[in-house]
Amino acid sequence: MRMRSPFPAIAALAILVAGCGGNPHPKTVAVSGQVKLDGGPWPVAGRLYFTALEPAAGFPRHGGMADFATDGRFVAWTWSAGDGLIPGKYKVGVECWKVPPSMRGPPAVSYVADSHLAAARSPIEIVVEEGKPVHGVQWDVPRNPKAK
């Protein structure tokens, strides 16, 4: 009885797996801009949270983030720095802490007004369309009066 070599089957499987590789994530769209605190700079760096409300047709619902420095400039990301957001409609929450939340420390104090802190309550929304980068977004966030 003659044994067949397993190499053709292994080679075919390797080609199949390699062909299915690529980027496992849906295409994202570049989103960048600037967020200000009461029309001015931030006392410290912060973060934006993009909470997906309605994904564009054929896309999954998946949120994103963006870090900003004291000048408020940001570039949004979903999986890796600067990769953009999945097309869809988002609400945007803003975090910037005078006293960050902790389990044992003093109570947290945000520089951001409560109305903009959590994305679920925030009035900030953005729509990202497939193939249409969004640059130059401008948002102004009210200051928390307790953080003066």
Asked if residue 34 belongs to a domain, the reply is yes
* Confidence band for 8, pLDDT divided at 50, 70 and 90: very low
Q: Is the pLDDT of residue 4 over 70?
A: no
| CATH number of the domain bearing residue 46 | 2.60.40.1120
Per the domain annotation, does 64 fall within a domain? yes
Give residues with Cβ within 8 angstroms of 42, minimum separation 6: 36, 68, 69, 70, 71, 72, 96, 111
Domain count, the chain: 1
H or E stretch including 124?
none
Note whether residue 18 is domain-resident. no
The pLDDT assigned to 28 comes to 96
Q: List 66's β-bridge partners, or say none.
A: 48
Asked whether residue 95 is assigned to any structural domain, the reply reads yes
Return d(Cα 99, Cα 108) in angstroms, integer: 5
| pLDDT class of 39 with cuts at 50, 70, 90 | very high
Using 50, 70 and 90 to split pLDDT, how confident is the model at 20? very low
Average the pLDDT over 10-14 and give the result.
42
Is pLDDT at 19 greater than 90 in this prediction?
no
Range of the domain at 141: 25-147
Q: What local confidence, expressed as pLDDT, does residue 30 receive?
A: 98
Average pLDDT, the chain: 88
Q: Give the contacts of 89 (CB within 8 A, at least 6 positions apart).
A: 52, 53, 54, 125, 126, 127, 128
Alpha carbon separation from 132 to 4, 59, 139 (Å, rounded): 53, 15, 19
Residue 56 lies in a domain: yes
Helix residue ranges per DSSP H, the chain: 7-19, 114-117
Query: What distance in Å separates the CA atoms of residue 94 and residue 115, rounded to the nearest whole number?
Result: 10
Residue 14, domain member (yes or no): no
Asked if residue 39 is part of any domain, the answer here is yes
Q: Residue 32 pairs with which residues in a beta bridge?
A: 75
In terms of pLDDT, which residue wins out, 1 or 67? Answer: 67
Mean pLDDT of the region 3-31 = 58
Q: What is the pTM of this model?
A: 0.82
Does 7 fall in a domain? no
